[in-house]
Structure 1
């Protein structure tokens, strides 16, 4: 059901929030064709990034909003503002739709709004969110999650994706597409799409697997088995598996698969090579195999990924 055009949409702000998510989404929701009644609620003046913001209303008025946007928290290791947490919970209890952007999910989790729900945040903080709030089902591999009354997004660009999703839900696809064209961004990226960030290669001198990682990285176009990797590392396959689990959190084969996908991503972003050639260079063999594994891991086909990161590029 679409909401009325006069719905009050409130940004819940406090000190030490990131300005990008706040300003970018504020620009989106204040577009003239949307006619949201947008206000900023905070016990101000509020320091956001390098700027000082003068809110329109105090936080205790947040419960009058139909939709509450919680921007990203700058440092999730710092104690959360209890007044912000309480105000967001009060708004939720009165029926407001609560939307968190990036690390704003920590505020929702602290308020208990994510208990028993699937949620996401910036990929760099998903593990921390899961550890701190074990009742939350944290999904690190999506752009955003819509639970109806409670919505969460990954970082920065995903905040824009979720904002457009909200507009699409409220006002329809045509209006959301108009807003996207105004921003010169893709009109729709599905929430289930991966955050496009895969596990990095651990690095640093003295790392027990550094030389092996370098050896594998130079041979992505070749067939490599766990036995090959163990032989190169000078250890048994069982010991290699234990070490990999301790260092990377995964198995040697899964790590290798992830690195092949990363290599394919790099080639899609940086070259005009065909998908067939990229499949060979990344060790996936054929374009069909690459497309299947790439879509399963990243959430979109290789051609779509290339268009997203290299508009106008590729064959």
Structure 2
């Protein structure tokens, strides 16, 4: 079983403390087996102050970090303002040196940056703290507007983006079938790519938002058809310019970028769940030719479709 240890620091947000267990703790394999064990550690196993006005009891100290396959630094005021406890420093750097996966949620990225682990890497953190982060850590290639970044070391924006990051890890470890099941349990979108915007810049009327959501659902159901901007605009009863603006506000990307991501997502799902050929999947997902699918898929996911299918398609249950 994959061992995950989340390091909790003082003055934590209660929701953040529960994110790793809510995602990884609910992940199940094809036979219903648990895929991860999640534990929370603090310095000396001491209780953690929370910003909600009560303390959270923690059963383990930092010694359990030595057993972890993945180490997650959770956010908190101590994470951002420091100083970093030498025992936390030793635990995180020791985990890195022995090859454990290192992650941070929200302002936990401040700890990783202070330790020099993010120098020269892309990273993100909570957008309200991005200016402070950039000033303190100029060697980090901060991307302040995205949900999460996976650049060898993984970082996320605030609160809900931590869920997205953890779900991204489940998807990378075990494929979309397992990740989608976790998302259903949590009643959250099955996938929000890391490049989406952290926040919506402008408010939107409820009726307009509903119409836009209906358009997205319709488009997802018709990925194999012509989904040009003019056709989408006619469907939404909006001008092309207005629709393009709505896409940017609601999804953080252009219509073309959103559509490309959805089609690749569909292709990945079909590779996992069907015996369709690459050519058939290309047609069903709206990517056109097998050559186009192979090129785009490899560029986006770093694997050829066939390699992805062999790696991530669930193995059939034995009799």
Question: What is the TM-score normalised by the length of structure 2?
Answer: 0.63
Matched-pair contact (CA < 8 Å) for 2:8–2:75: no
User: For 1:299 and 1:168, how far apart are their aligned partners in 2?
Assistant: 22
User: For 1:94 and 1:269, how far apart are their aligned partners in 2?
Assistant: 53
User: For 1:51 and 1:269, how far apart are their aligned partners in 2?
Assistant: 40
The count of corresponding residues between Structure 1 and Structure 2 is 225
2:138 aligns with one of 131, 134, 138: 134
User: For 1:66 and 1:168, how far apart are their aligned partners in 2?
Assistant: 16
Residue 120 of structure 2 is aligned to residue 116 of structure 1: yes
**In structure 2, do the counterparts of structure 1 residues 270 and 288 end up closer, same or farther at CA, with 3 Å as the change threshold?**
closer
2:197 aligns with one of 171, 194, 215: 194
Matched-pair contact (CA < 8 Å) for 2:146–2:196: yes
User: For 1:15 and 1:130, how far apart are their aligned partners in 2?
Assistant: 23
Match of 1:299 in 2: 253
Matched-pair contact (CA < 8 Å) for 1:142–1:154: yes
Residue 45 of structure 2 is aligned to residue 41 of structure 1: no
- Secondary structure of the corresponding residue to residue 108 of structure 1: helix
User: For 2:210 and 2:26, how far apart are their aligned partners in 1?
Assistant: 37
User: For 1:10 and 1:156, how far apart are their aligned partners in 2?
Assistant: 18
How far off its partner does 1:132 sit?
A: 0.6
- Secondary structure of the corresponding residue to residue 188 of structure 2: coil
Gaps spanning 5+ residues in structure 1: where? 1-5, 199-261, 280-285, 305-315
**In structure 2, do the counterparts of structure 1 residues 53 and 144 end up closer, same or farther at CA, with 3 Å as the change threshold?**
same
Match of 2:2 in 1: 7
Matched-pair contact (CA < 8 Å) for 1:63–1:92: no
1:144 aligns with one of 102, 126, 148: 148
Residue 83 of structure 2 is aligned to residue 88 of structure 1: no
2:22 aligns with one of 27, 34, 41: 27
Rg (Cα) greater in structure? 1
How far off its partner does 1:57 sit?
A: 3.0
How far off its partner does 1:89 sit?
A: 1.9
How far off its partner does 1:25 sit?
A: 2.6
Matched-pair contact (CA < 8 Å) for 1:12–1:88: no
User: For 1:121 and 1:12, how far apart are their aligned partners in 2?
Assistant: 17
Once structures 1 and 2 are overlaid, which stretch shifts more, 20-29 or 108-117? 20-29
**In structure 2, do the counterparts of structure 1 residues 291 and 180 end up closer, same or farther at CA, with 3 Å as the change threshold?**
same
Measured on the aligned residues, the alpha-carbon RMSD in Å equals 2.8
- Secondary structure of the corresponding residue to residue 48 of structure 2: strand
Structure 1 segment 40-189 matched on structure 2, within 5 A: 40-43=40-43, 44-49=45-50, 50-74=53-77, 78-82=81-85, 83-148=87-152, 150-189=153-192
How far off its partner does 1:294 sit?
A: 4.7
Matched-pair contact (CA < 8 Å) for 2:6–2:20: no
Runs of 4+ in 1 over 4 A off after TM superposition: 268-276, 293-297
User: For 1:67 and 1:117, how far apart are their aligned partners in 2?
Assistant: 19
Structure with the higher helix share, 1 or 2: 2
Structure 1 segment 190-269 matched on structure 2, within 5 A: 190-198=193-201, 262=202, 265-267=203-205
Matched-pair contact (CA < 8 Å) for 1:123–1:197: no
Matched-pair contact (CA < 8 Å) for 1:15–1:48: yes
Matched-pair contact (CA < 8 Å) for 1:47–1:53: yes
Question: What is the TM-score normalised by the length of structure 1?
Answer: 0.64
Matched-pair contact (CA < 8 Å) for 1:14–1:46: no
